[in-house]
C-alpha cells in the first residue's frame, strides 16, 4: 500500500507542517508501505517526490522546490526530485493519504473535501469535524450545546469592527474583564493570538488577529493551568492520560511553542484522579460534538479550585519531537510508530465501513 504524506501548505503554519511530516515519515513502517511525499509550497504549488523506501535524513530536506534542486537524500542515500502535479494526481489504488497540514486549507475541512471527491481514505477527521474543530466560534457553540464548561467569549466579524469599533469595544468590555485573549477564529499554533490588558492593547490585538481572519473571538483571560488530552478512535473513542503544559512565559505563544521551546510537558499532570476523569470525559464529549474521527487533542484550563473549562480542540495536532499528542499516548504504552500505524488503520476502517453501508 502507498501512503501519500501531504505537508507544507499556504497557511502560516507551513513550517510546523514540515517538522511534523519529517517526524511522522521517520516512524512509518516502511516494511509495509511505500511513502510518497507531496509538498504544497507557500504559493500553493503541489510537488511530488519519488516514493521513499526509508526515512529522509533531515526534516528540512522535505522543503522541495521544482526542478533539479528539488531533491533530498534518504538514510540509504537515494534521491528524489519534486515534480509539479495537480491535486487530483494523488488518487490511485491501494492508497491512503496522511495529511500533515495545519491551519486553513489543511485542517479546516477544505482538503478533506478533496479527498472525499477523489474517494480516498485519509487520516484524521472528516470534512465536518475538521471545519468545526478549526473554527473557534463554531466549536464554542457546539461545546455550549454539549454542556462542556468554557470561559465567556465575544465573537465578531471584521466588517462590524470596521463599521463601529466603539460598539465592539463596548461589547467586549461590557461582557469580559481584562485581561482578555484575542484570537483569529480559524488559526492554530497560537498564530495571531494576543493578550490584552487594556483598551490600547485590545486595539493592537484585534488588528493583529485580523491579519489572519475576518472572524475574531475574544475570550476571558483566567489564571489557570493548561492541560491536554489526546483522543484516538472513530466510533469507539479512547482518551489518554491528562498532560500539562508547564510554561516559563506567562503566555504560551507561537515562539514559546516552536522557536524558544521554553515549555515543558508534565505527563501525567499532577491533578486529582477525579478531576482527570472529568477532563477525559469532557474530551470524549467534545470529540463527539464535532463529529471527530481518527485523532484530536483537546485542550483545557484548570483553575486552582479545580474548575475545568474547555479551550479548544485540534483535529491535526503537532507531531514534532516535543509535541504533546504522541507523548500522551507514549505514556499509555503506545509507541510513536504504533500510533502512526493505528491512525492509518483507523483511516482505512472508516473508509471501508462507509463503503460497506
Q: Is position 13 annotated as part of the catalytic site?
A: yes
How big is the CA angle at 81 (ends 72 and 36), to the nearest 5 degrees? 85
Residue identified by cell 488577529 is 209
CA nearest to 155, candidates 129, 117, 184, 124: 184
Grid coordinates representing 219? Answer: 475570550
Residue 352 known to bind ligand: no
- Give the residue from 313, 245, 314, 239 showing the smallest Cα distance to 277: 239
| Cell numbers linked to 105 | 486549507
- Any known ligand binding at 181? yes
> Quick check: helix, strand or coil at residue 216?
strand
182 annotated among ligand-binding-site residues: yes
> Does 223 belong to an annotated binding site?
yes
Question: Cell triple for residue 138?
Answer: 463554531
Which member of 17, 80, 130, 323 is catalytic? 323
Annotation says 293 is catalytic = no
Residue 111 annotated as lining a ligand binding site: no
Q: Identify the DSSP state of 59.
A: G
The reply, when asked if residue 314 is annotated as ligand binding, is yes
31 is in an annotated binding site: no
- Cell numbers 471527491: residue: 117
Is 80 annotated to bind a ligand? Reply is no
Question: Has 311 been labeled as part of a binding site?
Answer: yes
C-alpha to C-alpha distances, 166 to 28, 124, 153, 209, nearest whole angstrom: 53, 41, 17, 17
Q: Annotation-wise, does 307 bind a ligand?
A: no
Distance CA 107, CA 283 (A): 19
- Indicate which residue of 189, 194, 240, 276 is catalytic: 189
190 is in an annotated binding site: yes
Beta bridge partners of 156: 216
- In the chain, what are the helix, strand and coil shares in percent, each to the nearest 5? 35, 25, 35
- Using alpha carbons only, what angle is made at residue 173 by residues 167 and 175, rounded to the nearest 5 degrees? 100
Q: What are residue 127's phi and psi, to 5 degrees?
A: -60, -55
Q: Is 312 annotated as a binding residue?
A: yes
- What's the farthest any 2 CA atoms get from each other in the chain? 62
Per annotation, catalytic residue among 13, 107, 284, 342: 13
Cα–Cα distance, 242 to 235 (Å, whole number): 21
| Residue 225 counted as an annotated binding residue | yes
Cα separations in angstroms, 223 against 133, 303, 320, 323: 24, 7, 28, 23
Run of H or E including 215: strand 215-220
User: Is 211 annotated among the ligand-binding residues?
Assistant: no
CA distance 332 to 183: 32
Q: Please say if 323 is a catalytic residue.
A: yes
Annotated binding site for ATP: 136, 181-183, 189-190, 219-226, 311-312
Q: Which residues are annotated as catalytic?
A: 13, 189, 323
Annotated binding site: 136, 181-183, 189-190, 219-226, 299, 311-312, 314
Annotated binding site for Mg(2+): 299, 312, 314
Amino acid at each position: 500500500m502507498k501512503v501519500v504524506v501531504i505537508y507544507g501548505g499556504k497557511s502560516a503554519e507551513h513550517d510546523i507542517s514540515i517538522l511534523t511530516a519529517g517526524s511522522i515519515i521517520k516512524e512509518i513502517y516502511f516494511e509495509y508501505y511505500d511513502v510518497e511525499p507531496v509538498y504544497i509550497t507557500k504559493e500553493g504549488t503541489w510537488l511530488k517526490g519519488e516514493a521513499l523506501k526509508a526515512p529522509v535524513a533531515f526534516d528540512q530536506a522535505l522543503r522541495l522546490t521544482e526542478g533539479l534542486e528539488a531533491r533530498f537524500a534518504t538514510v540509504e542515500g537515494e534521491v528524489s526530485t519534486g515534480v509539479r502535479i495537480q491535486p487530483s494526481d494523488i488518487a490511485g489504488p491501494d492508497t491512503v493519504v496522511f495529511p500533515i497540514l495545519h491551519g486553513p486549507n489543511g485542517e479546516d475541512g477544505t482538503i478533506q473535501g478533496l479527498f472525499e471527491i477523489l474517494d480516498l481514505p485519509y487520516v484524521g477527521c472528516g470534512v465536518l469535524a475538521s471545519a468545526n474543530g478549526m473554527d473557534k466560534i463554531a466549536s464554542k457553540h457546539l461545546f455550549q450545546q454539549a454542556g462542556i464548561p468554557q470561559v465567556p467569549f465575544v465573537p465578531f466579524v471584521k466588517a462590524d469592527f470596521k463599521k463601529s469599533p466603539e460598539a465592539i469595544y463596548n461589547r467586549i468590555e461590557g461582557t469580559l474583564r481584562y485581561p482578555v485573549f484575542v484570537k483569529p477564529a480559524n488559526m492554530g499554533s497560537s498564530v495571531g493570538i494576543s493578550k490584552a490588558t487594556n483598551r490600547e492593547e485590545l486595539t493592537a490585538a484585534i488588528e493583529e488577529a485580523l491579519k489572519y481572519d475576518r472572524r475574531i473571538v475574544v475570550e476571558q483571560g483566567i489564571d489557570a493551568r493548561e492541560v491536554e488530552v489526546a483522543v484516538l478512535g472513530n466510533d469507539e473513542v479512547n482518551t489518554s492520560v491528562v498532560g500539562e503544559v508547564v510554561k516559563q512565559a506567562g503566555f504560551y505563544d507561537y515562539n514559546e511553542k516552536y522557536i524558544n521551546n521554553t515549555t515543558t510537558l508534565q505527563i501525567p499532570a499532577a491533578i486529582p484522579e477525579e478531576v482527570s476523569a472529568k477532563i477525559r470525559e469532557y474530551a470524549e464529549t467534545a470529540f463527539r460534538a464535532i463529529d471527530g474521527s481518527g485523532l484530536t487533542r483537546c485542550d483545557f484550563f484548570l483553575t486552582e479550585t479545580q474548575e475545568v473549562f474547555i479551550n479548544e480542540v485540534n483535529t491535526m495536532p503537532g507531531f514534532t519531537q516535543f509535541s504533546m499528542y504522541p507523548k500522551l499516548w507514549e505514556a499509555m504504552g503506545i509507541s510513536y510508530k504504533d500510533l502512526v500505524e493505528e491512525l492509518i488503520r483507523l483511516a482505512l476502517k472508516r473508509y471501508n465501513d462507509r463503503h460497506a453501508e
